[in-house]
Structure 1
Amino acid sequence: MGADPLMAGNSQRRGRTTGAGKKTATAGTGGKNRRSLAGRGATPPAEQRYGHPAQRKAQAQERQRADRARARQRAEEAPELLLGRNPVVEALRAQIPATALYVVTGDTTRGGTDERIAEALALAADRGLPLLEVGKGEFDRMAQGALHQGIGLQVPPYDYAHPDDLLDIARDSGRAPLIVAMDGVTDPRNLGAVVRSAAAFDAHGVVVPQRRAVGMTASAWRTSAGAAARLRVARAVNLPRALAAYQDAGLQTVGLAGDGDVDLHEYDGFADAVALVVGAEGTGLSRLVREKCDVVVRIPISRDTESLNVSVAAGIALYQVAAARR
């Protein structure tokens, strides 16, 4: 007798198997399904997605920045070639450190017809500097197309001090520390003029940032009128951090700005240990540097005058410090 197709468990429907519908144990997914439902989180920016055009562009820009940084580092570590008859004579008169004097072949024999070349040759000889004659084509290449007038002075890279070294110089002097910090000054003539004023008013040194600021070029040396040979210039990797270290050492950080809180002549702390902070041409003190100033003073000037040159303002402030200490 055949099985009754209507009896339970004997369904003849296609795909139906005996025991279907019974609850039996099944293998787990180990949480895979739950993780899939949870998703992968926020989509990363295009610059971080592998193979995306935006990522390739960002990587190319980063390589370019690195290349520029390396080129800047090589330029700072390479000797500077000071060009032109007047600049070379002025540099030699100011006793700027130099390693050689370059003259285009034939110009040494024309010294009698050009007093500046003749004087440069005499000054270099007095200092024992090597005289190197080169062809005009070679010197054009060395000058990279700049006007050279047939003469150039090779100036070695400046040997910067560490910001902490200026504190040691101040301690050895027996006087209250006076350090000048320059925030983002880009004109070498302004740097040289501030160095000259700092030396004149018994400062213990000048600090400049390593980036986005001028260093001690031959032009800065020349403008300092020899003061750079007597006063150390330090270079700070991070100027706000250097100012914080000066604060920890007991110095008052005094910023100088046209919108300062106190008139220069009203501030009564110049007789104590001071780090005088001056800002860049036009933009003044940067936000991070200003935040590291214990006080910001201003020089009262006529309303018709918008501002003072940074080297002039620094000279006035340094005179006020010297007057307070006398």
Structure 2
Amino acid sequence: MALQLTARRPARTAGRVALSLLQALVVAVGATSAVFLLMRLIPGDPARILAGPGGNVTDEQIELTRRELGLDDPLPVQYWDWISAAFRGDFGTSLVLGERVSDLLGDRLVVTAQLSAYSFLLAVALAIPLSVVAARWQGAAADRAARLVGSTGIAVPSFWLALLLIILFQGYLPIFGYVPVSESLTDHLVHMILPAIALGAGFAALVFETNRAGLVETLSSDYVRTARAFGIPEWRVYGRYALRNAFLPTLTILGIQAGALMSGALLVENAFALPGMGRLVVQGVLSRDYPVVQACILVIVVIFVAVNLLMDVVYAVVDPRVRRSRGRV
């Protein structure tokens, strides 16, 4: 019987992985299809824009440009041609800039990834310790102040906070531009401080509220009271019993929001004039550059799905109840 259970576990694991990949594929296809259709609903014809100045363009020239770009094909054909090439790593050529989209994405993806990573680290470094302090002194002035700041952080949009930070810190910190790490690490970090705060504030507030609520509930549980009754030190009660169990819902939030940071970075990048994917998307939408916008959205969706798949694995490793439930027949 034990041998049969052992033999079935790899099959169940493979089945779960296949199901997760299938769900990821459905999400990717759905998101890219929606963007593909929405881009073509935006008023304006890229063929007319690219054919030349409006007063000197004939209908024949517009039709020729549309045919050269493949825009005269039915929408299902256009979508299949693009998505099949994208899965081979070919995102096409920018209609406006005339460069390969993969080349345009390279450096800009690095900037967006850096901003998302800094925001994530900043949020976790602030939210987790503050949630522990707030739960430890629940109802005290520090707890009420932290909850007020947390509620405000959740309610304030990132782009509005970005504009506020620009107004407040103008003249004290760099508010526009980007410095690569290869040029100067110090200047790079200084230029990324305000964008990271603007993007990570709402994330930090959400992590704080989630982890604090989990800690408050866990600290009132029977096994924590029993641990204290046995004289176990308070730091060990928090670290081994309370914080570990309370962190499981927070881990789910971290996984979901880590992928969402990539999309949130699009607005913040434009506010601080960072040369990331956000500015590229805005420029692509304004110029009806279909391949650029579609490639950016596809990359963001793939990163979001990959992060969530990774967090599913981490959650199963951290929570022994998941491992036991998945090990049953």
The two structures have a TM-score, normalised by structure 1, of 0.25
Q: Which structure has the higher relative contact order (CA within 8 Å, separation 6+)?
A: 2
Indicate the structure with greater helix content: 2
